[in-house]
Amino acid sequence: MQKPRDLWSSRLGFVLAAAGSAIGLGNLWKFPYITWHNNGGAFVLVYLLCIAGVGLPIMIAEILVGRRTQRSAVGALKESVGSAWGFVGGWGVVTGFVILSFYTVVAGWTLLYFIKCLGWSFNGYPIDYSGGDAFGVMTGNGPLQILLAGLFMACTMTVIYRGVGQGIERISRILMPTLMVILALLLVSALTMEGAGEALAFIFAPTFSELPWNGVLEALGHSFFTLSLGMGAMITYGSYLSRKNSVVRSSMMVVVLDTVIAIVATVIMFSVIFSKPGMAEQISRSTAGMLFITLPDLFYTVVPLGKVLGPLFYLLVGFAALTSTISLLEVVVAYFIDERAMSRAKATTLCGLGTFFITLLCGLSLGAFGPLSSFEIFAGKRGLFDTMDHLAANWLLPIGGFLITLAVGWFMTRKTKEEELMDGTQPGWFRYGVWSFFIRFVSPAAVALIILAVIFLGADFT
Ligand code: TRP
């Protein structure tokens, strides 16, 4: 006899876990940075449109498929769309594996920066810190990279091992509210700073002439990554959702939470950056630079109460990353449990160690080990870390997302979809026809645009 599926205890449980998956380094690390180099306002507006017009419909589609079948990505697509579609789920499992490999490395850095900040708070901030290349030294230190990523992976595996209710939901119920409280504290502090006005204007006053053409595509590409779409993560989380809980309402809440947090994080970071004269011009050219080079310095030189807020900030980033690595690993683990009849313990150990092996190689590919750091498969992307990041953002997620929109939009029967969405739990404003139009036409066209831009225009979403 089959054991009953371990479900979320309530809609709130699901929303916190799914928001935990969505809110991650994408919100705190990538979004502020791409907002910066796409000149703010207009980009943010386009991003919001992409989230509403492309992200939300696909979120609904993924959760719908999961809740209906109560199976993880591969089985869910086979059962609800047709056996030929199982491979799209398999594509997602591979994508999860690829994202985990570099994501865990960055997640590991947050541990180190949390500890570093604690040290600075107690012993004083070193005058020459931001001047030297402390960041480069850190990423080039192989054993340290392995240790940090290993610790992070161990935390992730511990949660996954304990299962959906006792593991994932329980930790999300603790970490997500904590994250929101820390963010609120940071926001209050940031808004009192001198740069706040300039930051708000930068983010909320759109000047369309300043939006680079590929900013639109970048906003689209990022809306996938940030909502954890395109790889079956939301199918998998949706498969633990009870039929009593609304697909549409849950999707809406996850999307709103993710978006609000990305914007709040951006307001905080720019308020801090604009408060130090001349700082804006110096923002490092890499994504990592803003979070790990510019900000640590500012916490200790300009932020009021920075001694307290600095460590808290890195704790927050770490928490956000952890609830995301958990969901990435869960996609892989759930496949082995549901489709290969493996026990959760065995699947967790196997998948965790397997992904850690690649993670370890990614960690060594930032300078520690020459051959891993210097090879080039995609033009301009040097080493394994950059290659994996590039592969996921430019190829795996858009193609996966495209196939999911096709599967749900065109190959699933209308009856099935209506049964799931119009089941009496949907909010009053929801119109099936509108969603259907978006998932059949708007979303696939938008995603196809990303893929075409990558192939023909050499666009880059990493
Ligand atoms: N959404 C996560 C973030 O913003 C990253 C991510 C992408 C992800 N795909 C995922 C997380 C799938 C979990 C599952 O950081």
Atom of ligand 1 nearest to the CA of 227: 1
The reported pLDDT for the residue numbered 276 is 84
Q: Residue 308 Cα, ligand 1 centroid: separation in angstroms?
A: 28
Q: Residue 24 Cα, ligand 1 centroid: separation in angstroms?
A: 7
Q: Residue 18 Cα, ligand 1 centroid: separation in angstroms?
A: 10
Residue nearest to atom 8 of ligand 1 (CA): 228
The reported pLDDT for the residue numbered 287 is 59
Report the residue among 30, 324, 329 best suited for mutation to probe ligand 1: largest number of ligand atoms under 8 A from its CB.
324
Residue nearest to atom 14 of ligand 1 (CA): 328
Q: Is the distance from CB of 158 to CB of 385 less than 8 angstroms?
A: no
Atom of ligand 1 nearest to the CA of 22: 1
Q: Element (H or E) spanning 434, and its range?
A: helix 432-437
**pLDDT profile of the chain (462 residues), mean per 10:** 81 97 94 91 96 97 97 95 95 96 96 95 80 83 96 98 96 96 94 94 92 88 93 97 96 98 95 83 65 86 90 95 98 96 97 96 91 84 90 93 97 96 95 98 95 85 75
Nearest 5°: the CA angle 308, 312, 315 is 155
Instruction: Report the distance separating Cα 455 and Cα 199, nearest Å.
Output: 35
Instruction: Report the distance separating Cα 222 and Cα 47, nearest Å.
Output: 8
Q: Residue 99 Cα, ligand 1 centroid: separation in angstroms?
A: 8
The reported pLDDT for the residue numbered 1 is 46
Q: Residue 277 Cα, ligand 1 centroid: separation in angstroms?
A: 34
For 397, residues 6+ apart whose C-beta sits below 8 A from its C-beta are 95, 221, 224, 225, 229, 230, 231
Q: Per-residue pLDDT tens for 423-448?
A: 999 999 999 999 999 999 999 999 99
Atom of ligand 1 nearest to the CA of 29: 15
Q: Residue 22 Cα, ligand 1 centroid: separation in angstroms?
A: 5
Atom of ligand 1 nearest to the CA of 320: 15
SS3 assignment for 10-27: CHHHHHHHHHHHHCCHHH
For residue 24, the Cα-to-chain-centroid distance in whole angstroms is 5
Residue nearest to atom 10 of ligand 1 (CA): 228
Q: Residue 461 Cα, ligand 1 centroid: separation in angstroms?
A: 15
Residue nearest to atom 12 of ligand 1 (CA): 228
Mutual angle of helices 41-50 and 213-226, in 10-degree steps: 50
Nearest 5°: the CA angle 180, 185, 187 is 90
Q: Residue 133 Cα, ligand 1 centroid: separation in angstroms?
A: 29
Judged by DSSP in three states, 376 sits in strand
Query: Which tokens go with 3?
Result: 């054991």
Q: Is the distance from CB of 113 to CB of 314 less than 8 angstroms?
A: yes
Residues with CB under 6 A from ligand 1: 21-22, 24-27, 99, 225-226, 228, 231, 233, 324, 327-328
Q: What are phi and psi of 17, to 5 degrees?
A: -65, -45
Instruction: Report the distance separating Cα 139 and Cα 144, nearest Å.
Output: 8
Give Cα separations from 392 to 97, 416, 452 (angstroms): 10, 31, 16
Nearest 5°: the CA angle 177, 182, 184 is 95
The pTM assigned to this predicted structure is 0.95
Q: Residue 266 Cα, ligand 1 centroid: separation in angstroms?
A: 18
Mutual angle of helices 41-50 and 196-204, in 10-degree steps: 50
